[in-house]
């Protein structure tokens, strides 16, 4: 509820945002995107049906199947156009301070010690993905002496905590 208030406040009074299937959308843009989808899908289908039904070397049932595939291409095109012109309205806030880590891990059914041991032996590819996601509060749990340990994890976690006001 609090996040929805923030989204609406940041969006401005003239925009009517609502939540559809767990995502925040502007109703007018949703309507335009749906209309665009219907128009392009049906236009591609009808043109495809006209082209393929006139071909003598294709059976009628196969021509209809090809027309459906052409309609699906129109659907994909409308999705790409809508994605290009109507940017997401969601605001994502990620703050996981080290004080919250114990609580988050407990909710997940594990302890800080168990997580530290798991991180110590985790595949380096997964560690690299965690670095890309800047999950330094978790990476700071890796114990010294393990193959995945890097001293900068604790420094970066501390800087992230300072930046979010949590020291």
> 3-state SS of 13-53?
CCCCEEEECCEEEEHHHHHHHHHHHHHHHHHHHHHHHHHHH
Mean pLDDT per 10-residue segment, the chain (167 residues)? 45 67 86 96 97 92 95 97 87 58 82 88 89 85 87 82 60
Give pLDDT tens digits for 42-67: 999 999 999 999 999 999 999 999 99
What percentage of the chain carries pLDDT values higher than 90?
33
Residue 19 phi, psi (nearest 5): -105, 125
pTM: 0.49
């Amino acid at each position: 509820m609090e996040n929805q208030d923030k989204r609406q406040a940041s969006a401005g009074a003239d925009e009517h945002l609502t939540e559809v299937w767990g995502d925040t959308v502007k109703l007018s843009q949703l309507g335009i995107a749906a209309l665009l989808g219907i128009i392009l899908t049906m236009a591609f289908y009808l043109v495809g049906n006209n082209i393929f039904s006139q071909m003598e070397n294709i059976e009628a049932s196969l021509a209809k199947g090809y027309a459906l595939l052409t309609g699906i291409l129109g659907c994909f095109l409308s999705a790409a156009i809508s994605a290009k012109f109507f940017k997401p309205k969601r605001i994502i806030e990620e703050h996981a301070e080290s004080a919250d880590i114990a609580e988050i891990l407990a909710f997940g059914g594990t302890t800080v010690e168990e997580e530290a041991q798991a991180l110590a032996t985790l595949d380096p590819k997964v560690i690299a993905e965690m670095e890309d996601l800047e999950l330094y509060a978790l990476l700071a749990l890796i114990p010294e002496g393990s193959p995945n340990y890097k001293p900068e994890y604790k420094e970066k976690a501390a800087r992230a905590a300072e930046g979010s006001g949590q020291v």
